[in-house]
Amino acid sequence: MHHKPYYVKNLIKKLEANVGYIDVNTSTGLGAIPIGNAEVSVYVWNEQEGETLIRTFTTDESGKAPRIELPVLLSNIDLSGEGRTQYHLVVRAPNYHTVIIINVEIYPNIANQFNVNLTPLRPDETHRDERVDIPIQTKNK
């Protein structure tokens, strides 16, 4: 029996029934001082549509954002990550450098915790982004 190759390109399935969670804590001084009123923004990104803001949250006085519920994104793609849909987190606070976390993966019924350490701006310093790339997982989901 002869089988033709079957290629699935950029097939993304969003399963509403499968959700996971993100917990974000913001601080400075390697966790010693919580940062309240920090802005935590969640974006979804893919090559076709670019980056789209999903929602923005604000941390409380203890530096904690409300638990963020997101759908699990399943993708059948090659292992290079091309065409992949991803979540990104952007954490901002006045007088601190912005932290951008790339490739945030969401797993069903699991809470991923991100302890984000924000670096204060020095008086002579301009704003800069600090980017954190999470390696893309290469196993099949």
Residue 78 contacts by C-beta under 8 Å, 6 or more apart in sequence?
A: none
| Chain segment 28-40, per-residue pLDDT in tens | 988 789 999 999 9
Q: Measured between alpha carbons, how far is 123 from 56 in angstroms, rounded to an integer? A: 28
Q: Would you place residue 131 in the very low, low, confident or very high pLDDT band (cuts 50, 70, 90)? A: confident
Collapsing DSSP states into helix, strand and coil, what is residue 51?
strand
Mean pLDDT of 21-30: 92
pTM of the predicted protein model: 0.75
Q: Do the Cβ atoms of 11 and 76 come closer than 8 Å?
A: yes
Let me know if domain 11-133 sits in CATH 2.120.10.30.
no
What does the domain layout of the chain look like in residue ranges? 11-133
One-letter amino acid for residue 121 of the chain: L
Q: Measured between alpha carbons, how far is 85 from 44 in angstroms, rounded to an integer? A: 7
| Chain segment 109-122, per-residue pLDDT in tens | 889 999 999 999 88
Q: Do the Cβ atoms of 119 and 61 come closer than 8 Å?
A: no
One-letter amino acid for residue 88 of the chain: H
Q: Measured between alpha carbons, how far is 24 from 32 in angstroms, rounded to an integer? A: 15
Mean pLDDT of 12-16: 43
Q: How many CB atoms lie within 10 A of CB 28?
A: 19
